[in-house]
Amino acid sequence: MSVFKMLAAAAGTALVLAGLTACGGGNSNGDNTCTPKGGTTTGTATQTVQLVSDPNTVGAFQPKTVAVKKGDTVEWDWTDQSFAHTVTAEDGSFDSGLCNAGNKFFVTFSNTGTINYKCTIHAQMTGVVTVS
Ligand SMILES: [Cu+2]
């Protein structure tokens, strides 16, 4: 096997592993409901929000509010190792499903406005995206 073919094979394996991690990775509960609606698990973001653990609210969106321009993409990264969370728009326009640490969710905003979102498991866990 040529060096090139070996590299190609290695890259293919890495892509498969990355794909597995993108949805369902790090899932300790055995659920696999991390199915995005209104968004994707890969993309290029202009703003990133982390889902972190928080002693007061179980989980938190950090930062809580992001401001983007029409056509921009927001990325959510699950970093909380303790609990699964969702990123769910109040208006129903997007819903990540229940995801664990290691997952990512990307939503592109095509309309201006203010979108409130939350984690459906933890009602006190809320965030806002403003699109101008
Ligand atoms: Cu949550």
| Domain limits for position 92 | 3-131
Cβ contacts of 24 within 8 Å, gap of 6 or more? 32, 34, 100, 103
pLDDT digits (tens, 9 = 90+) for 17-64: 333 333 444 444 444 468 999 999 999 999 999 999 998 889 999 999
SS3 48: strand
Round the average pLDDT of the chain to a whole number and report it: 83
Span from the CA of 31 to the centroid of ligand 1 (angstroms): 15
- pLDDT of the residue at 34: 86
Which value, to the nearest 10 degrees, does the dihedral of the CA atoms of residues 76, 104, 35, 22 take? Answer: 180
Number of domains in the chain: 1
Instruction: Sheet with 73-78: list strands edge to edge.
Output: 58-62, 47-54, 73-78, 104-108
- pLDDT of the residue at 28: 43
CATH of the domain at 28: 2.60.40.420
* Terminal alpha carbon distance of the chain: 53
Of 28-32, 99-103, 118-122, the range with the lowest mean pLDDT is 28-32
Span from the CA of 3 to the centroid of ligand 1 (angstroms): 46
Model-level pTM? 0.76
Span from the CA of 25 to the centroid of ligand 1 (angstroms): 17
Span from the CA of 100 to the centroid of ligand 1 (angstroms): 10
What are the residues whose beta carbon lies below 5 Å from ligand 1 (ion)?
59, 85, 119, 121-122, 125
